[in-house]
Amino acid sequence: MTAASDLCFFRSADGDLAYRDTGAGDLVVLLHSGFADHRVFDAQIPPLAAEYRVIAPDVRGHGASANATRPFRWADDLAGLLRHLDAGPAVLVGVSMGGAIATDTVLEYPELVRAVVACGAATSEFEYTDPWVRRVQAEQAGALAAGDVEGWLTAFLRFVAGESRTLGDIDPDIPRRLREMAFGTLSKHTPDEENHHVPLTDTWARVPKIDVPVLTVNGDLDAPDLIAEAERLARTVPDGRSVTVEGTAHYPNMEKPEVFGEIVDDFLRGL
């Protein structure tokens, strides 16, 4: 687990944004999932840092990063950090929300991106259609409106196992870690807080112009519409491919870190 002393802070125009900076060499940026923080990649950071410079930020409003007080876009925050560090172009590796941030960033700031790995994600223009996922999202929304933090966390963790499994079917350390991260992020916010995030538009119309290699990684037990969107991204870009990690759902990097690491390592070595 990352100690607070291991974090660096970028003073953005709207508060400090936290990130971990370790290793040396070509730049790899790890972008975490929603409600979590950079520790989602605890298993990936040490081996990657042995060969690359690894930047692992906490997205605004998550982890140790400041909440937004004004409109912002994910891609702008990441571009600001990379320019502050005078770093890049970078390989962006993102899980879930982080994968969408990676794709949004290559669309908005192609000069800062060398390649993209999107895990369980495509662009940020996405809405779940799967009935099970919609039910879980409704449970989350209801719990949040009622101020039921435990209920929200229970619903949130359903995504870890996926529809076909229970949390008892996976390593208990994974939901424990995600619960800790999500609780920390949720504690930074209030139910009536304004959402200042400004989404990107027309992303799919721009995807065919992405001119860097794109790899999508999916757990075979993840929501079918997420898998379909990721595979669509891989088909639509000029240089894209998709791989599947068997026996995992939304967090293959946590469920099978060695397999995920080999996939990312092979991709990086092929650039």
Q: What is the pLDDT of residues 78-113, one digit of tens each?
A: 999 999 999 989 999 999 999 999 999 999 999 999
Which pLDDT band, with edges at 50, 70 and 90, does 145 fall under? confident
- The CATH number of the structural domain formed by 4-128+196-269 is 3.40.50.1820
Q: 124 near 233, Cβ under 8 Å?
A: no
Maximum distance among all alpha carbons in the chain?
49
Report DSSP state, residue 66. P
Determine the Cα–Cα distance for residues 69 and 145; give it in Å rounded to an integer: 21
Supply φ then ψ for residue 69, to 5 degrees.
-120, 0
Q: In the numeric block, which tokens belong to residue 155?
A: 């619903």
When mean pLDDT is compared across 9-23, 111-125, 131-145, the lowest value belongs to 131-145
* pLDDT-based confidence at residue 146 (cuts at 50, 70, 90): confident
Between CA 182 and CA 160 the distance in angstroms is 12
pLDDT band per the 50, 70, 90 thresholds, residue 162 = very high
Sign of CA dihedral 75, 182, 58, 266: negative
Residues 224/95/263/41 CA torsion (nearest 10 deg): -140
- The DSSP element (H or E) to which 16 belongs, if any, is strand 15-22
Domain boundaries, the chain: 4-128+196-269, 131-186
At 2, the pLDDT band (50, 70, 90 cuts) reads low
The mean pLDDT of the chain is: 95
8 neighbors 16 (Cβ within 8 angstroms): no
